[in-house]
């Protein structure tokens, strides 16, 4: 049976993890014979050929006002358009299915913010949107990509267990190390002028502050002088690098550091690097961690990341305990750069060959399809 689905996302850009999941789940539904329309406030990038993209004509001085107007526009639009299910990738009212990539907003507001913060209109808007998805009055099915946040949502909204669906990770097959991985590595390092004896640290992810780029720069600056002189650090992500370039300069490591915008050739960087560093402050999942594993790249990561346990399970690097300690990160980075990394690489590739870490888009599409069928049967 051919069905029509509406996918809702505030902002699309080509290099975001959430945006890539959005596209891959849409493709999985299209492969099942269904149609997908996308509804966004901003679409930054080429328009897909097999998805109808609708840009909402809404503007506002603040993000929360804009999102509220978007929700109002969507409600009116969906009254005129018939869809078998509405799938949201941000928290917004009226969803049949929500893909839970973001952490619990209410928990952060209560534990990390001053009480006065909760008096503002921004808090009220975001809280109501989250509540509309997770409250007991909602029927929204929730696709979880990590177990980490589920207890927090249930603590604040008492969401029934049956509405949660835990998905396996969805690592792209193109991240796997190919047969000619060594050849690609050599060509990459020649292109980027990385000497044979130099070490390359890699960091990938939009949102440099959340991902802990400041921590990584401090760790790089702490390396013994000889080791530091022999280490390059490439950072890739969609964010403003100004503050971090200034930090690198103040630490005397500006010549070691290169910050790039999002790119399509991340697999080459994963094969060309010697270590992935990801000292995030918080991270619901951390897809790049598993992308590094399947490429055979050792990982240094903080325990707060939802996918950090896979690094332990694969024995493919080091997971730093919580609470975070900058000296622990510094010392671990020094040791990992000095170590023979072949055992981490072999462990990672062995894990990648047998683990179920690729099937997320297919499983998500099946749940969305089942939700639409259930919705139809309820109406009839």
Please say if the pLDDT value at position 1 is more than 90.
no
Q: What pLDDT, on the 0 to 100 scale, is given for residue 371?
A: 97
Please say if the pLDDT value at position 116 is more than 80.
yes
Full domain range(s) for residue 145: 4-168+359-379
Q: What pLDDT, on the 0 to 100 scale, is given for residue 15?
A: 84
SS (H, E, C) the chain: CCCEEEEEEEEECCCCHHHHHHHHHHHHHHHCCCEEEEEEEEECCCCCCCCEEEECCCCCCCHHHHHHHHHHHHHHHHHHCCCCEEEECCCCCCCCEEEECCCCHHHHHHHCCCHHHHHCHHHHHHHHHHHHHHCCCCCCEEEECCCCCHHHHHHHHCCCHHHEEECCCCCCHHHCCCCCHHHHHHHHHHHCCCCCCCEEEEEECCCHHHHCHHHHHHHHHCCCHHHHHCEEEEEECCCCCHHHHHHHHHCCCCCCEEEECCCCCHHHHHHHCCEEEECCCCECCCHHHHHHHHHCCCEEEECCECCHHHHHHHCCEEEECCCCCHHHHHHHHHHHHHCCCHHHHHHHHHHHHHCCCCCHHHHHHHHHHHHHHHHHHHHC
The share of the chain scoring above pLDDT 90, in percent, equals 91
Please say if the pLDDT value at position 316 is more than 90.
yes
**368 and 349 fall within a common domain:** no
Q: What pLDDT, on the 0 to 100 scale, is given for residue 380?
A: 63
**219 and 308 fall within a common domain:** yes
Average pLDDT (305-325) is 96
Q: What pLDDT, on the 0 to 100 scale, is given for residue 53?
A: 97
pLDDT range class, residue 49, cuts 50, 70, 90: very high
Please say if the pLDDT value at position 75 is more than 80.
yes
**179 and 256 fall within a common domain:** yes
**208 and 344 fall within a common domain:** yes
**148 and 292 fall within a common domain:** no
Q: What domain count does the chain have?
A: 2
| Mean pLDDT of all residues belonging to the chain | 95
**38 and 128 fall within a common domain:** yes
Model confidence, pTM: 0.88
**86 and 235 fall within a common domain:** no
pLDDT range class, residue 377, cuts 50, 70, 90: confident
Average pLDDT (123-145) is 97
**120 and 199 fall within a common domain:** no
pLDDT digits 0-9 by tens, 196-238: 889 999 999 989 999 999 999 999 999 999 999 999 999 999 8
**202 and 343 fall within a common domain:** yes
Please say if the pLDDT value at position 344 is more than 70.
yes
**199 and 285 fall within a common domain:** yes
**350 and 203 fall within a common domain:** yes
Please say if the pLDDT value at position 20 is more than 70.
yes
**271 and 313 fall within a common domain:** yes
Please say if the pLDDT value at position 14 is more than 90.
no
**CATH number of the domain enclosing 192:** 3.40.50.2000
Please say if the pLDDT value at position 325 is more than 70.
yes
Q: What pLDDT, on the 0 to 100 scale, is given for residue 172?
A: 87
Please say if the pLDDT value at position 138 is more than 80.
yes
Average pLDDT (70-82) is 94
């Amino acid at each position: 049976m051919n069905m029509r689905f509406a996918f809702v996302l505030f902002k699309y850009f080509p290099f975001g993890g959430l945006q890539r999941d959005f596209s891959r789940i849409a493709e999985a539904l299209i492969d099942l014979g269904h149609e997908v329309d996308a509804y966004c406030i901003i679409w930054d990038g080429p328009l897909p050929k097999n998805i109808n993209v609708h840009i909402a004509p809404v503007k506002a001085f603040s993000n929360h006002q804009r999102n509220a107007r978007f929700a109002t526009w969507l409600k009116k639009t969906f009254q005129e358009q018939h869809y078998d299910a509405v799938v949201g990738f941000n928290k917004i009212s009226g969803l049949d299915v929500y893909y839970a990539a973001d952490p619990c907003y209410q928990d952060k507001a209560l534990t990390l913010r001053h009480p006065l913060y909760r008096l503002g209109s921004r808090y009220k808007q975001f809280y109501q949107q989250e509540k509309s998805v997770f409250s007991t009055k909602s029927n929204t099915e929730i696709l979880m990509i990590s177990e980490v946040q589920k207890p927090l949502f249930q603590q604040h909204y008492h969401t029934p267990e049956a509405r949660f669906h835990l998905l396996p990770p969805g690592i792209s097959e193109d991240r796997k190390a190919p047969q000619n991985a060594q050849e690609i590595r050599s060509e990459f390092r020649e292109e980027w002028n990385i000497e044979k004896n130099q070490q390359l640290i890699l960091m990938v992810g939009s949102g440099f502050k959340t991902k802990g780029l400041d921590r990584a720069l401090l760790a790089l600056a702490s390396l013994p002088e000889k080791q530091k002189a022999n280490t390059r650090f490439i950072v890739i992500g969609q964010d403003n690098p100004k503050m971090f370039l200034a930090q690198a300069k103040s630490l005397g490591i500006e010549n070691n550091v290169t910050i790039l915008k999002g790119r399509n050739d991340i697999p080459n960087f994963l094969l060309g690097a010697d270590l992935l560093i990801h000292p995030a402050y918080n991270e619901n999942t951390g897809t790049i961690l598993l992308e590094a594993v399947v490429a055979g790249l050792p990982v240094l990561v903080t325990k707060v990341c939802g996918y950090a346990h896979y690094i332990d399970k694969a024995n493919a690097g080091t997971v730093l305990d919580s609470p975070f300690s900058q000296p622990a990160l510094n010392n671990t980075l020094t040791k990992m750069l000095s170590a023979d990394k072949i055992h981490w690489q072999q462990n990672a590739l062995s894990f990648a060959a047998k683990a179920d870490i690729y099937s997320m888009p297919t499983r998500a599409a099946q749940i969305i399809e089942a939700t639409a069928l259930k919705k139809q049967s309820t109406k009839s």
